[in-house]
């Protein structure tokens, strides 16, 4: 399938984009700083010398063909891979300047600060309300007024409040797929994370539900740092500030999204985004 996703961009604005990128990078807060990350599943190396900076309050999209390591990489950011047997991780991942793979790093704090939303909506078989207060309760919040406020805040953040405010006590599994996914995002936001990792969060949704979630991302990035894996090039182009292209376990390039989609530095990136392979 030959698809063209190049954004029409005159030469001068490409230069401007490059300058803007340099300026932005210079002044921006790094949420994650990843250096020489190597990850092995037994004898198989799934990530090879990955270097990446993830900026605060920006949306970073991870793209690349199936099996190139996007999910593996995403899961290293909140140590979700830890329990996989035979896994070995080398290199450095700093979150707010601290090594998250250091023994002394507190995993509970990490998971609270770095939340995750999965491909398939996975609400608990509980009420809408209970889904959202689950995390805050685990972290010790008992005050009903505060929990109510969290429910309202997060459901508003994901633009679900108006649809469900009169049925908070009903089962979350009765919601549509798109509503369930917004609920899962709300559940993730309920513990006030700093970063939200999303692994193909819209791939199981119809175009209307997808566009609702895409619309949310820009607003959410005012408050949160977002890293999203997507196979949808148009989606990466629409929602992200930065895009990182993965291929066979390596990061080929990371740059401003408009640069990646108009004038990538590497030929392999261009081949992928124009649909020549992958």
Ligand X SMILES: Nc1ncnc2c1ncn2[C@@H]1O[C@H](COP(=O)(O)OP(=O)(O)OP(=O)(O)O)[C@@H](O)[C@H]1O
Total residues contacting Mg ion (rule CB under 5 A)? 1
**212 is a contact residue toward ligand X (CB under 6 A):** no
Report d(CA 270, CA 100) in Å as an integer.
33
210-248 burial code (b ≥16 CB/10 A, e <16): bebbbebbeebbeebbbbbbbebbebbbbbbbbbbbbbe
According to DSSP H, which parts of the chain are helical?
11-27, 70-76, 107-113, 128-138, 144-157, 161-164, 177-189, 207-220, 233-239, 257-262, 267-273
Q: Give the residue with the Cβ less far from Mg ion, 140 or 277.
A: 277
The interface region with ligand X, picked from 61-69, 105-113, 162-170, 211-219 by CB under 6 A, is 61-69
Q: Which of 54, 59, 68, 155 binds ligand X (CB under 6 A)?
A: 68
Report d(CA 201, CA 238) in Å as an integer.
15
**244 is a contact residue toward Mg ion (CB under 5 A):** no
Give residue for tokens 């890293």.
227
Q: Give the residue with the Cβ less far from ligand X, 235 or 262.
A: 235
**115 is a contact residue toward ligand X (CB under 6 A):** no
**69 is a contact residue toward ligand X (CB under 6 A):** yes
**235 is a contact residue toward ligand X (CB under 6 A):** no
What token pair was written down for 211? Answer: 């566009």
Q: Which of 41, 105, 134, 161 binds ligand X (CB under 6 A)?
A: 41
**201 is a contact residue toward ligand X (CB under 6 A):** no
Residue 60's φ and ψ, nearest 5 degrees, are -110, 125
Residue 228's φ and ψ, nearest 5 degrees, are -130, 130
**116 is a contact residue toward ligand X (CB under 6 A):** no
What token pair was written down for 7? Answer: 């954004």
Q: Give the residue with the Cβ less far from ligand X, 34 or 68.
A: 68
Q: Give the residue with the Cβ less far from Mg ion, 87 or 159.
A: 87
For residue 103, what are the contacts with CB-CB under 8 A and spacing of at least 6?
A: none
- Please state the closest distance from residue 67 (CB atom) to ligand X, in A: 4
**262 is a contact residue toward ligand X (CB under 6 A):** no
Q: Give the residue with the Cβ less far from Mg ion, 71 or 254.
A: 71
What token pair was written down for 11? Answer: 């030469």
Nearest C-alpha neighbor of 223 from the set 242, 196, 184: 196
115 interacts with, out of ligand X, Mg ion, none, CB within 5 to 8 A per kind: none
**197 is a contact residue toward ligand X (CB under 6 A):** no
- Please state the closest distance from residue 39 (CB atom) to ligand X, in A: 8
Query: Per-residue contact track with Mg ion, 49 to 88, x per CB under 5 A?
Result: ----------------------x-----------------
Burial class for 30, CB neighbours closer than 10 Å (0-12, 13-18, 19+): middle
Interface positions with ligand X (CB under 6 A): 41, 44, 46, 64, 66-72, 84
List residues binding Mg ion (CB under 5 A).
Answer: 71
């Amino acid at each position: 399938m030959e698809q063209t996703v190049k954004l029409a961009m005159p030469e001068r604005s490409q230069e401007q984009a490059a300058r803007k990128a340099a300026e932005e990078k210079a002044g921006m807060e790094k949420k994650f700083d990843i250096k020489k990350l190597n990850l092995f599943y037994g004898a198989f190396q799934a990530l090879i010398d990955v270097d990446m900076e993830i900026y605060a309050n920006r949306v970073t999209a991870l793209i690349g063909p199936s099996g190139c390591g996007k999910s593996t990489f995403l899961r290293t950011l909140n140590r979700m891979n830890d329990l996989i047997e035979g896994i070995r991780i080398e290199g450095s991942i700093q979150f707010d300047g601290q090594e998250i793979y250091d023994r002394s790093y507190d995993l509970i704090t990490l998971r609270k600060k770095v939340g995750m939303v999965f491909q398939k909506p996975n609400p608990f078989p509980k009420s809408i309300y209970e889904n959202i207060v689950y995390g805050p309760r685990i972290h010790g919040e008992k005050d009903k007024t505060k929990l109510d406020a969290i429910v309202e805040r997060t459901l508003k953040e994901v633009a679900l409040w108006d649809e469900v405010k009169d049925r908070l006590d009903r089962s979350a599994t009765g919601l549509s797929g798109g509503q369930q996914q917004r609920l899962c995002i709300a559940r993730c936001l309920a513990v006030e994370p700093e970063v939200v990792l999303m692994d193909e969060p819209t791939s199981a949704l119809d175009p209307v539900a997808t566009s609702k979630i895409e619309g949310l991302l820009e607003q959410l990035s005012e408050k949160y740092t977002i890293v999203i894996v997507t196979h949808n090039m148009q989606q990466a182009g629409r929602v992200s500030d930065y895009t990182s292209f993965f291929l066979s376990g390596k990061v080929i390039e990371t740059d401003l999204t408009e640069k990646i989609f108009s004038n990538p530095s590497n030929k392999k990136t261009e081949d992928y985004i124009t649909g020549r392979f992958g």
